[in-house]
Chain A
């Protein structure tokens, strides 16, 4: 009789360990995947910028300062490799694009241009998707950290060598400030 009970307990333990092992792996993969999603959207934004700049140049060719700002920010974004570099370059590009749109405000013909409106809409969509991708990344980090820190996941996580919680994607102080608009 006692062997059955012990056998049952062992079986239960094995099931629990497998469940948490798989869950931890799954959540860790989800974090990697959601990070890659952010990258996908950042790249889409990089690809959109030249089109946007050319459309604005068609109406406001002499606004050289803002074009330089945008081009430099885009180059920085392309060259960024580490997470910190990407975050910083992304903030710079967002700021530069905001200045570009502020400049476009002064040109009613440009604002009415269908191509410009479409690009503006597309850019807004991408910016929203970057925000959503970051949100999903942070949600994934929360779930992962919960599992590896709460009982009984923490014990299995310890056996897997995964005791370190993942970092959240925080917005840098610079991005919290409203960018200045220089006309």
Chain B
């Protein structure tokens, strides 16, 4: 059975890789803080770090607690009809049972593209939203695969995971920014002899310019790993990976990639709502062909 893998293996692999990437971000943050502390007066970092921290955490907590309501009202989501949408409701309830989660709230959004997203800070406060296009154009097994993928985002606490990553990335961006600004206005003060300070100054400058870009790329890589993870976990829920594979193929053919969704919100959609499925380092989602291939190898 060459090339065959189980969803259990896929799940472990993607979980492990995404966590390793988070450690990478954390180390970059630590390195940045350390070098800057040595380049500037040590006391400076004690001011910069908490300041940056407060800004970032306030922003993150806002999106954590209110983010789902904001997104849902932006896309004009509405409640499903208990008779017309009985299959959708039954499917979400059934998959919640399979995942051992409380049933998320269900919403529909009026887009003709095929897409779906999950939002909410934890399984008790989760919502799954599908587009009208998905309801019209997908068959039952495909819709089931899509919902299973979204349910997996909820069960894997991906929304919370992304928030923590965003905090680290934001911290790095702000600290780098503040450091570069202070360089422009005052230059650094060295702790030891003049030479020591200069080296750390240079390293700090390089880090401050490069780090924000690097961690942004790492953040996108994490996003892609968690998408693969949601695919694999979804396959475990339905025990039928072909359903989602077939849905993704349809999405690749049908979607124009023109939904009005901001970059920050596009994480939780099953397919990239804005770009046309570019296969590059800047994509939040892995390319559709690769996702289909992995699903069909399970």
Contact = CB atoms under 8 A, between A and B. Distances in A.
Chain B interface category by residue count: 10 to 19
Contact of B98 (A122, A125, A135): A135
A132 B86 contact: no
Contact of B94 (A34, A121, A125): A125
B97 interface: yes
A37 interface: yes
Contact of A132 (B83, B87, B89, B94): B94
A25 B62 CA distance: 36
B90 interface: yes
Contacts of A118: 83, 86
A133 B95 CA distance: 9
B86, B93, B97, most chain A CB atoms within 10 A: B97
Contacts of B99: 136
Contacts, number: 40
A128 B90 contact: yes
Contacts of A124: 90
Contact of A129 (B86, B93, B239): B93
A121 B90 contact: yes
Interface string B85-110: 01101110111011110000000000
Given A125-B93, A129-B93, A136 B98 contact: yes
Contacts of A121: 86-87, 90
A124 B160 CA distance: 34
A125 B86 CA distance: 9
A129 B94 contact: yes
Contacts of B95: 132
A124 B89 CA distance: 12
A129 B97 contact: yes
A139 B11 CA distance: 15
A99 interface: no
Given A125-B90, A125-B91, A129-B94, 15 more contacts: A30-B100, A34-B100, A41-B97, A118-B86, A121-B87, A122-B86, A125-B94, A128-B94, A129-B93, A135-B98, A136-B97, A136-B98, A136-B100, A139-B100, A140-B100
5 contacts: A122-B90, A128-B90, A133-B97, A135-B239, A136-B97
